[in-house]
Amino acid sequence: MEKEISQAVIRRMPRYYRYLDELLDAGTERISSNDLSKRMHVTASQIRQDLNNFGGFGQQGYGYNVKFLHEEIGKILGLNESHNVVVIGVGHLGQAIANYSNFAGLGFKITGLFDVDPAIVGKEINGVEVHHIDDLEECLKDRNVDIAALTLPKSQAEKTARKLVELGVKGIWNFALVDLDELDNVTVENVHLSDTLMQLSYNITKKN
């Protein structure tokens, strides 16, 4: 049986991927765990422990091969395959997501935009047409969409998420201000922007 890897480790993996991406861009071929540790401000032992969850990847006396480690972490994160993403709710945040070029470079392809507002339905954003939410089923059929970003009012979030799961969506990237923890057969990643702002507020208030 596979060992269950903690979400704390998983949360750190995209950060490794980003740093390795920068090293790769800079033409760095290999890096010691000490140097990686200094760059990332985590201990070398933490790096070794984290990576050992997936089998290690380093060689004693050599360190890490940047290209290889970047590829392996990419595979761990599922970035070796492309993912079709739809955005439900094309307000300001939905449009920001539709326009964010970095996602495409990671293999996340925005293939559908949905809203209810007649003022936006029919428009094109970053080359993708906005459809009415009523056309969701028709549009998703045979499209192999595995991720949906929810940027809609919280009153609509759970109902819409259930519908998306029925239509085969495997992951919900949830920006609506409600925790969608109770849904079956789907993975939910809640991104509550105001929660992070409140954390920041706590930390600056405490210091004063």
Q: In the complex, which residues of this chain contact a copy of itself (CB under 8 A)?
A: 7, 10-11, 13-15, 17-18, 40-41, 76-79, 81, 83, 91-93, 95-97, 99-100, 102-103, 106, 108, 146-147, 170-173, 177, 179, 181-182, 187, 189, 191-208
Closer residue to a copy of itself (CB): 135 or 151: 151
Closer residue to a copy of itself (CB): 138 or 207: 207
For 190, residues 6+ apart whose C-beta sits below 8 A from its C-beta are 174, 179, 180
Report, in Å, the least distance between residue 139 CB and a copy of itself.
20
Report, in Å, the least distance between residue 136 CB and a copy of itself.
19
**Are 179 and 190 contacting, i.e. CB atoms less than 8 angstroms apart?**
yes
Interatomic CA distance for residues 158 and 181, integer angstroms:
10
DSSP 8-state assignment for residue 176 = S
Report, in Å, the least distance between residue 192 CB and a copy of itself.
7
Cα-based distances in Å from 29 to 20, 58, 69, 106? 10, 13, 10, 21
Report, in Å, the least distance between residue 182 CB and a copy of itself.
8
Report, in Å, the least distance between residue 61 CB and a copy of itself.
29
Tokens 């009523």 belong to residue = 134
**Are 108 and 58 contacting, i.e. CB atoms less than 8 angstroms apart?**
no
Interatomic CA distance for residues 139 and 114, integer angstroms:
10
The values of phi and psi at residue 59, to 5°, are -125, 130
Closer residue to a copy of itself (CB): 134 or 143: 143
Closer residue to a copy of itself (CB): 60 or 185: 185
Interatomic CA distance for residues 137 and 88, integer angstroms:
13
Report, in Å, the least distance between residue 126 CB and a copy of itself.
9
At residue 81, the 3 state secondary structure works out as coil
Closer residue to a copy of itself (CB): 77 or 116: 77
Nearest to 172 by CA among 75, 90, 88: 88
145: its two tokens: 């969409």
Closer residue to a copy of itself (CB): 29 or 179: 179
